[in-house]
Each structure stands twice: as structure tokens, then as C-alpha cells.
Amino acid sequence: MWRDPGAPADSFYQVRPECTNVPKTRFRIKAGKTLSARKWRAAFTSEGYLDIGKTLSRIYRGGIHPSIRGEVWEFLLGCYDPKSTFEEREQIRQRRRVQYAVLKEECHAMFPMIGSGSFITAPVITENGDPIVDPITLQEAQAAKELYSGGQQNGNPGWEKVKEHDKRIIQWKLSLHQIGLDVVRTDRTLVFYEKQENLSKLWDILSVYAWFDKDINYCQGMSDLCSPMIILLDDEADAFWCFERLMRRLRGNFRCTERSVGVEAQLSNLASVTQVIDPKLHHHLETLGGGDYLFAIRMLMVLFRREFSFADSLYLWEMMWALEYDPDLFLMYEDPDLAAAKSEGSKGRAKSTRQCGKFERENLKNRSKGTEAPLPISVFLVASVLKDKSTKLLTEAKGLDDVVQILNDMTGNLDAKKACTSAMKLHKKYLKKAANANR
């Protein structure tokens, strides 16, 4: 339902009344600028084909109305091909729901609290595979058993009292209590998470994903990325696959080895960008011992979820995805072989830029010049924040603690639209300077 023009989005994501220090959103629903339900419906043909190009610029100008945000995100993240019909998308949706149900049942068979309506916050297994019967876990499992079985005292409480030998299952079960601990901390200022069923839905999705993605499993920060999906999409399976598509973009940040953390590549890119666009600030940060840019790790890992209000972070995300949108996104996600074949067949032919986001169009121009591989817009967003605080960082930061404090003070005081506009300007400036340096 369309609310008054200029209304804040907070009314759609209600904050618990006792949480008085939560940042207020700057995002306003503006008639004529915000993508409305009417404009969104008008972008489809009678068969269901979507002219995505019509919507991208509107999203960048004014964001997406909260009432349709979930379904628009599914296209922005590549869940559905704009060139598909209503019928084709419904078939895909039903197939994915079945696939998620199978995954969830597989997890339930290994740990019956999955899907029980409850979750755990205490360990259930050692690294050697021995079961742990923690008093907290016993209490949580008993509550889940009664909820799941309607009060009957039968059924497995959630674990087998036998040693587990499968290394992958051990690793997965080791992550379950950490997921639970993160679930109870995620977006707890929102009224939405006062309901046990919503907390348990978040735990279920993250637990199933940890089993689904055997290379990444679960890492802290994923709950912040998953939470909006559950709020925006009613069906649990739809929320799972939307989250899974987002993780395809970001999973490299969470990949850890004995020697490195995946996000280090992004931090290195951030250092390179800052060195080009603000060499004085980069030198100052290096002098303070911050040349590795670890102070920016949170912004990159969870895409500014902690720096913006809840509603503003969603607004920021959709602007980013609209700017980066690539019409081949669905093809790449759904069938990599077909995408490779299409890419091979299209060599020498320019991709239609009308269906691309503005940031992606700049990258296409850059690729045509044979210069370096494109960087994600998130790197330029962080660089724009540092650039904006450059004077303060140069004059007041005498150590890394000061850098962290100055950046923490930004929480709730950033403007998502201005940050994106600044990031686009820095992107152009960086490409131009990088091109000149390569001559």
C-alpha cells in the first residue's frame, strides 16, 4: 500500500519502543522518484518479460517502495531472468522451493532441531566429534521438542549421543551454536524479531546454507546479510535463494585459509584506490600502521549494515545492485556453461548497455580499453567515506584507535544516496588516473 509521499521507511520496519538510540532513516518514499508498485507492474509485458533498463535508473534515483522490495531484489540479485515469462518464473520458483525443502530435510535428519521452530546457542559437538550435552542445549532442545511434537515426550531432542566421524558433519554441527548466538544479536531492535518463529527461520536458513556451501560453511556477518531477506520475502525458500544469490557475490570475502582471509583482496583494492584518489590520506594511514585497511573490514563484509539505519542499508544495497546490474547475471548464476558459451559467441560484439547499470556501463567502457579487471562498487563506497572524512582523519587521527573512533562516529549519520553518488565520481576518477598511469 502506497503511503504519503515523503514518508519515512521506518514505518515498514518497526523498531521496538524501548530502543530509543536507534538511528533514524534518511530514506524517504517519494512519489515520482521511488519505484512504486504501479511503475514496477508497468515494466512487464503481458507475458511477463521485464524491461529491467526502465527500472534501474528509477531505483538509483529514489530506491524501491518497501511493499515490492523483495520481488524487485530477486531480479537485481539474479534469481530471475528479466527475459523470462511469468509462467517460467513460477516453474523456477516451485522447483527451488522443492530443492530447499530437500536440503532442509537433509539437515533435519542430521540435527532434528532444524525446522523445529527453535534453535540452539550452546555447542553440541566437540572438534573430535564427541557429543556435548550442555545444560543450556538440553533446555533449548526440550523446548524445541515440545514445540515440534505438540508437547509429546517422544522424538530425538536434537543429537545422537554417539561419536560423529564424518568431518563435514562435525564442521557443520560446530557452526550451529555460533549461528544461534548471532541470530539472537541480529537486528534485535526490530519488532519483527520479537517473534520466535522469525528468529528460528533465520537460524534455519543460515544452518541450511552452512550445509549447502561446503567450502564456506558459516561465518559471522552472514546473519546481517540474510536478515533482510527474511523480512522482505514471506516464503522461507525464496528468502534462502535470494540470500544464496547475494552470497555468490560476497562469499569470496568469507573464504578463509590458514594464511589469509578472503576480504583481504578487497582491502588491498581499497588501499590501491585510496592511494590513487587521495595519496595524502593513504600515506597518513600507512604512517599510523593502517596500510592494511583492516579498520574497514566490517564495512566490506556486511555492506555497511552497521553504519546505516536498517532502512537506509536496504536503500544503499538496492542502489548498489542497480548500478552494478549486468543483464547476464541470471545466465551466469543459473548455467555457467551456457554463460561461457554466450560470452564466447558474443566476442567482438558490444553488450547492450541499455539494460546495464550505470556503474557496469563504466566498467564495460574500461574493459574495451583493455585495462584492469573491474572492482566492485563497495570498494568505492568505502573509499568515498574515507575521502569524506579525509580532513578529520588527517588532523585528528594520531593512531589506529582514533581512525576506528572517527569511522564509528559516522554510524547513523551517513547519507546513502550521497555515498553512492560520491562512489560513482571516485570510480570515474580512478579509472581515468589508472588509464593515464598505464600509458
Domain residue spans of the chain: 101-236, 263-437
The answer to whether domain 263-437 has CATH 1.10.472 is yes
DSSP state letter for 121: -
- Going from the C-alpha of 73 to that of each of 66, 68, 318, the distances in angstroms are 11, 9, 7
pLDDT of residue 154: 44
d(CA 326, CA 133): 49
d(CA 70, CA 84): 18
Helix, strand, coil shares, percent, the chain, to 5:
60, 5, 35
pTM of the model: 0.90
> What are residue 29's phi and psi, to 5 degrees?
-80, 115
Are 292 and 267 in contact by the 8 Å Cβ rule? The answer is: yes
Sites in the chain below the pLDDT cut of 50: 1-5, 151-157, 338, 342, 345-349
- 143: three-class secondary structure by DSSP: helix
Cell numbers at residue 11, please? 514505518
Are 398 and 285 in contact by the 8 Å Cβ rule? The answer is: no
Element housing 430 (H / E): helix 416-437
d(CA 205, CA 186): 14
